[in-house]
Amino acid sequence: MNAYRLMIYQHERLLGHFESTAPWAREAVAELQRQLGPMEGFRLELLEGHDERRLVESTPHGVRLLYSELIFRPIPLDAA
């Protein structure tokens, strides 16, 4: 599973992010880049999920996943 997070800044202020794990996530990121990239004052940063942090619980009844979090790393925008 590929996961991408597109960080969206306007005038160096973080507006938010778009995150996708859909099978067409690269195309979605590329479309947002085409739409927002040329607009003045906007800066985009692309991150790709490459690992996962997990919190597990071990009891006499077995092991249970309590929480998982994707770990992202920056990649070049043209990689999308």
- pLDDT digit string, tens, across residues 1-11: 689 999 999 99
* Contact of 56 with 63, CB cutoff 8 Å: yes
- Whether pTM > 0.75 for this model: the answer is yes
List, in order, residues 6 or more apart from 80 with CB less than 8 Å away: 4, 26, 29, 30, 33, 46
**Total of domains in the chain:** 1
Residue 74: its pLDDT value, please? 96
User: Residue 7 and residue 12: Cα distance in Å, rounded?
Assistant: 11
3-state SS assignment for residue 23: coil
User: Residue 14 and residue 43: Cα distance in Å, rounded?
Assistant: 9
Domain of residue 37, residue span: 4-79
Share of the chain above pLDDT 90, in %: 75
Q: Can you give the length of the chain in residues?
A: 80
3-state SS assignment for residue 76: coil
Is the pLDDT higher at 38 or at 43?
Answer: 43
